[in-house]
């Protein structure tokens, strides 16, 4: 691991995103490969539902894509975390990436051959989700072994910022491609093909990583990636209040305050539909990207537990305020504020998870994190839609944001371990 200890400059540049982790060659290659691959993945993320709707003319089938992606993620995310703790993480990342690439090539092939099978689309999405569930825990868990511990928060911020940038730019580029021709048999292969080509950057990055075998156990026995290993990870999490609470506040924020399922209804009722819904869907990601670009201070924050609680409370309050807005510009601005708060909370939670947990547990905890990050917003969609059916979209939006903020405060006060957490004491936990 390259030692990068130079002090950051004073003044306004102290608030700019910290790019010092990019001086570490292994991390730089991984960051670059992941950034290019994530941008390319957005083409597939847009093209698949477009193709499904073109085939079926039924939003129910489009909704099944979410089920096809989530169920494998829930199952294989936990197992993938156990594998990342028992095997060389570089090899796990490479294997999962190859499977992900193969699923993209499958999407490209079925589009070129004009197979026209909704069931095949669901199957390929399930395979893609399995591949992501295997590779994601390994990719995240290896971070503290690539950069110095004091740069983990900065490296995590870089990852999240480029992810949100890809989430903004990728769909826009995909939209331009899909709008180039009304004939989906022409534009869909282009979208899938671009994803397949760009994903080779991730394969290159994984190949260039150093070997990252699991650290030896105290008794010298090899680790196994079975059910017992997964249960052991949950047992560790249950006895670690700081990490357990960090997952808890994130679930509260996503389940109670994620408003995206309400965007179509609110856009239509308050702003006449049209382009308003697109602005609402992009506002949170734009705020996260701006928050990341001005995140230089996050790496210097020592009271990370308190910072996490404040960020999640800020998310809930900003969401509630946005739900009260009657002007489109104001709602978008408040959602952007919420997005910035979400970026801060995500970086702090991930940094705490990577630094506090011992290396032997990082893969399994990242597997849990993968399930939480993917499942929380989907449960939030269900909560918002169900509540809106009974009380209206406005009530579901505002009440969810306020309830999230209040419940997080109650949880933090009732269990103060999270509030007491400081980055300087992160190394006091078990590290063997």
Ordered per-residue pLDDT tens for the chain, 432 residues: 545 555 455 555 567 788 889 999 999 999 999 999 999 998 898 888 888 888 988 767 876 787 788 788 888 888 888 888 888 999 999 999 999 999 999 999 999 999 999 999 999 999 998 999 899 889 988 998 999 988 888 898 899 888 888 878 888 788 788 778 888 888 899 999 999 999 999 999 999 999 998 876 655 555 565 666 777 777 888 888 998 899 899 999 999 998 877 887 888 888 886 667 767 877 888 898 888 888 777 777 888 899 999 999 999 999 999 999 999 999 999 999 999 999 999 889 888 888 888 887 888 888 888 778 877 887 888 788 888 888 888 999 999 999 999 999 999 999 999 999 887 544 444 333
Q: Are residues 132 and 155 in the same domain?
A: yes
In a domain, 87, yes or no: yes
Question: What distance in Å separates the CA atoms of residue 265 and residue 389, rounded to the nearest whole number?
Answer: 11
Distant-in-sequence, close-in-space partners of 216: CB < 8 Å, separation ≥ 6: none
CA distances from 342 to 28, 55, 292 (A): 24, 36, 10
- Tell me, yes or no, whether 171 and 256 share the same domain: no
Q: Same domain, yes or no, for 400 and 294? A: yes
- Asked if the structure places residue 4 within a domain, the reply is no
Which structural domain, as residue segments, surrounds residue 274? Answer: 226-424
Tell me the pTM.
0.74
Residue 6 lies in a domain: no
Within this chain, do residues 56 and 157 fall inside the same structural domain, yes or no? yes
Measure the CA–CA gap between 226 and 255, rounded to whole angstroms: 30
Q: Which helix (H) or strand (E) holds 224?
A: none
Q: Which of 183, 138, 150 is nearest to 359 (CA)?
A: 138
We report the CATH number of the domain holding residue 232 as 1.20.1250.20
Per DSSP, the residues of 63-129 read: HHHHHHHHHHHHHHHHHHHHHHHHS-HHHHHHHHHHHHHHHHHHHHHHHHTT---HHHHHHHHHHHH
């Amino acid at each position: 691991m390259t030692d990068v200890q130079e002090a950051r400059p004073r003044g306004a540049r102290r608030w700019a995103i910290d790019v010092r982790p990019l001086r570490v060659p292994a991390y730089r290659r991984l960051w670059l490969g992941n950034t290019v691959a994530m941008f390319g993945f957005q083409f597939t993320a847009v093209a698949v539902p477009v193709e499904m709707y073109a085939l079926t003319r039924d939003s129910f089938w489009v909704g099944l894509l979410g089920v096809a992606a989530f169920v494998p993620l829930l199952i294989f995310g936990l197992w993938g975390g156990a594998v990342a703790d028992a095997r060389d993480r570089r090899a796990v990342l490479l294997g999962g990436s190859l499977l992900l690439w193969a699923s993209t090539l499958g999407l490209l092939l079925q589009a070129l051959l004009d197979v026209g099978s909704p069931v095949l689309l669901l199957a390929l999405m399930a395979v893609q989700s399995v591949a992501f569930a295997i590779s994601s825990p390994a990719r995240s868990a290896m971070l503290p072994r690539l950069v110095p511990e004091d740069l983990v928060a900065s490296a995590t911020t870089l990852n999240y910022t480029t992810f949100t940038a890809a989430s903004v730019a990728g769909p826009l580029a995909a939209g331009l491609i899909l709008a180039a021709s009304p004939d989906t048999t022409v534009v869909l292969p282009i979208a899938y093909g671009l994803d397949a080509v760009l994903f080779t950057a991730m394969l290159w990055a994984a190949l260039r990583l150093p070997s990252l075998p699991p650290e030896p156990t105290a008794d010298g026995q090899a680790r196994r990636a079975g059910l017992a290993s997964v249960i052991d990870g949950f047992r560790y999490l249950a006895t670690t209040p700081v990490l357990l609470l960090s997952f808890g506040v994130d679930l509260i924020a996503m389940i109670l305050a994620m408003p995206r399922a309400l965007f179509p209804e609110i856009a239509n009722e308050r702003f006449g539909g049209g382009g308003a819904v697109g602005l609402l869907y992009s506002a949170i990601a734009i705020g996260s990207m701006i928050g990341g670009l001005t995140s230089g201070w996050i790496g210097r924050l020592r009271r990370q537990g308190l910072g996490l609680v404040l960020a999640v409370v800020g998310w809930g309050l900003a969401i509630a305020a946005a739900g009260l807005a009657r002007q489109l510009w104001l709602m978008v601005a408040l959602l952007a504020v919420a997005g910035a708060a979400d970026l801060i909370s995500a970086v702090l939670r991930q940094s705490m998870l990577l630094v506090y947990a011992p290396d032997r547990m990082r893969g399994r905890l990242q597997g849990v994190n993968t399930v939480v990050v993917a499942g929380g917003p989907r449960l939030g969609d269900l909560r918002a839609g169900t509540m809106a059916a009974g009380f209206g979209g406005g009530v579901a939006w505002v009440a969810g944001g306020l309830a999230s903020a209040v419940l997080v405060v109650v949880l933090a006060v009732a269990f103060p371990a999270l509030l007491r957490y400081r980055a300087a004491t992160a190394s006091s936990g078990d590290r063997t």
